[in-house]
């Protein structure tokens, strides 16, 4: 098998069952040969967290406990021979929410222990990158540059081979998905913010640009200044709107004096108008896409990458995909939408290449909420 050259020769039908519970998706998948997805089941908790405008860790952990067994059962149903067709078990052990990670990791360990199967803890960031190996005719070619953009992470890495990573840059403050989510909240759009902003930007009449944090001579990123710029513009817009349509306080009486009553409270923050929201969403997205694209293209040039891989939830963004493909000198790959956001098939793919290089985890493996790429 060319794609595991120099590694232990795992059989073509080596089948891994993987679990992913690092955040707000409970997922189980069965993947054959590191690349063929036989089952990919995801139970999203999005609706539950939507009302809070973000993920509530305690709620997420409890929901994983409820969803794990049905999700697992559904994934396993893809194998006619059932458990007998599973050769190894994997689960995400970081980065992510500790309580959430524990649910999947412990379930995976229990299964592996009970069935006497090899077990491996997988790095979630690694897994996002390996989504690019799933269901493709030609696997990615090293060396390559990976741009990982998710709700919790933003980083650029050089991959010289399986498991051989060099971190080139990362965010110094907000992750890009986090910035999408926060800006959506400022604009009164739904959670998760990424798809909501992309949609609002689509029909907008562009007006003005927002700042870009270039952080010259570095592959690092920064998005918190951009988020603050949107916040200030939104506040200005609301003040303007309040001046045009003044408060509903009592009018002065005929003699020009206000009645002797307690002052009316300040007019409540009113929803921003759709035109402004569209323009802000558009300008924000363009700013983010410009910086991400420029740095990924430059990194690929500097390191002679043969490909650029896009990974993580924000890789679902159509504008980012389009712009990166337009500006890059080398082919740009991105996973299909369903494999960009959190899923367990990507965990199984990453696990396959680790197992192939002889790696396994011990029963003592703990969760690591701040696990870094390449560890
Ligand atoms: O990778 P992911 O599913 O979870 C983490 O590991 O964080 O990423 C979720 C993030 C959220 O912040 C969400 O707003 C963002 O991905 N996202 C998008 C889009 N779809 C999801 N951001 C921009 N454009 C999108 N279409
Ligand atoms: Zn993720």
> Ligand 1 within 6 A of 75 CB?
no
Of ligand 1's listed atoms, the one at least distance from the Cα of 177 is 12
pLDDT of residue 254: 36
> Ligand 1 within 6 A of 42 CB?
no
Question: What are the structure tokens assigned to 28, written together?
Answer: 């189980």
Q: Give the bridge partners for 121, in sequence order.
A: 91
Nearest 10 degrees: Cα torsion 190, 193, 196, 198: 170
Q: What is the mean pLDDT of residues 254-274?
A: 49
Q: Which residue reads 């009164």 in tokens? A: 188
Q: What is the mean pLDDT of residues 145-155?
A: 95
Residue 96 Cα to ligand 2 middle (Å)? 8
Residue of minimum CA distance from atom 1 in ligand 1: 313
- Of the listed ligands, the closest to the CA of 24 is 1
> Ligand 1 within 6 A of 150 CB?
yes
pLDDT of residue 374: 80
pTM for the model: 0.89
pLDDT band of 2, cuts 50, 70, 90: very low
pLDDT tens sequence across 10-49: 898 999 999 999 998 999 999 999 999 999 999 987 777 6
Mean of the per-residue pLDDT values of the chain: 90
Residue of minimum CA distance from atom 2 in ligand 1: 313
Residue of minimum CA distance from atom 19 in ligand 1: 194
CB 59 within 8 A of CB 100: no
Whole-angstrom Cα distance, residue 335 to residue 312? Answer: 9
- Of the listed ligands, the closest to the CA of 321 is 1
> Ligand 1 within 6 A of 95 CB?
no
pLDDT of residue 8: 65
> Ligand 1 within 6 A of 314 CB?
yes
pLDDT tens sequence across 88-135: 999 999 999 999 999 999 999 999 999 999 999 999 999 999 999 999
Higher-confidence residue: 308 or 263?
308
Q: Which of 53-57, 190-194, 291-295 has the lowest mean pLDDT?
A: 53-57
pLDDT of residue 246: 60
pLDDT of residue 268: 35
Of ligand 1's listed atoms, the one at least distance from the Cα of 175 is 12
Q: What is the mean pLDDT of residues 293-307?
A: 98
Phi, psi of 248 (to 5 degrees): -85, 20
Of ligand 1's listed atoms, the one at least distance from the Cα of 96 is 6
pLDDT of residue 1: 38
CA of residue 278 relative to chain centroid, distance:
23
Highest average pLDDT, of 46-55, 150-159, 267-276, comes from 150-159
pLDDT of residue 257: 36
> Ligand 1 within 6 A of 180 CB?
yes
pLDDT of residue 266: 35
């Amino acid at each position: 098998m060319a794609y595991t050259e120099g590694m232990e020769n795992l059989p073509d039908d080596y089948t891994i069952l993987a679990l992913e519970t690092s955040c707000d998706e409970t997922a189980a998948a069965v993947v054959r040969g590191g690349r063929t997805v036989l089952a990919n089941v995801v139970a999203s908790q999005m609706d539950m967290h939507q009302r809070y405008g973000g993920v509530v860790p305690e709620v997420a952990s409890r929901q994983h406990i409820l969803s794990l067994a049905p999700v697992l059962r559904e994934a396993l149903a893809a194998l006619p021979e059932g458990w007998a067709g599973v050769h190894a078990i994997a689960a995400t052990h970081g980065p992510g929410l500790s309580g959430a990670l524990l649910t999947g990791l412990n379930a995976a360990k229990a299964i592996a222990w009970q069935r006497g199967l090899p077990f491996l803890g997988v790095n979630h960031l690694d897994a996002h990158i390996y989504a690019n190996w799933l269901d493709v005719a030609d696997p990615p070619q090293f060396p390559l540059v990976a741009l990982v953009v998710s709700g919790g992470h933003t980083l650029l890495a050089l991959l010289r081979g399986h498991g051989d990573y060099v971190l080139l840059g990362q965010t110094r403050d907000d992750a890009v998905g986090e910035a999408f989510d926060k800006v959506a909240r400022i604009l009164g759009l739904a959670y998760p913010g990424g798809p909501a902003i992309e949609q609002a930007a689509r029909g907008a009449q562009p007006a003005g640009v927002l700042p870009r944090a270039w952080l010259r001579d570095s592959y690092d990123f920064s998005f918190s200044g951009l988020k603050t710029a949107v916040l200030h513009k939104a506040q200005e817009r609301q003040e303007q709107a309040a001046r045009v349509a003044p408060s509903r306080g009592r009018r002065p009486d005929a003699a020009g004096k206000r009645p002797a009553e307690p002052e009316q409270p300040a007019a409540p923050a009113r929803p921003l108008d759709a035109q402004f929201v569209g323009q802000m969403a558009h300008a924000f997205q363009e700013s983010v896409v410009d910086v991400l694209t420029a740095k990924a293209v430059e990194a690929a040039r500097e390191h002679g990458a043969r490909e650029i891989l896009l990974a993580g939830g924000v890789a679902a963004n159509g504008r980012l995909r389009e712009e990166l493909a337009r500006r890059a000198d080398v082919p740009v790959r991105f996973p299909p939408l369903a494999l960009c956001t959190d899923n367990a098939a990507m965990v199984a793919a990453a696990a396959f290449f680790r197992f192939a290089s002889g790696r396994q985890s011990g029963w003592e493996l703990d969760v690591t909420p701040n696990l870094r790429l390449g560890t």
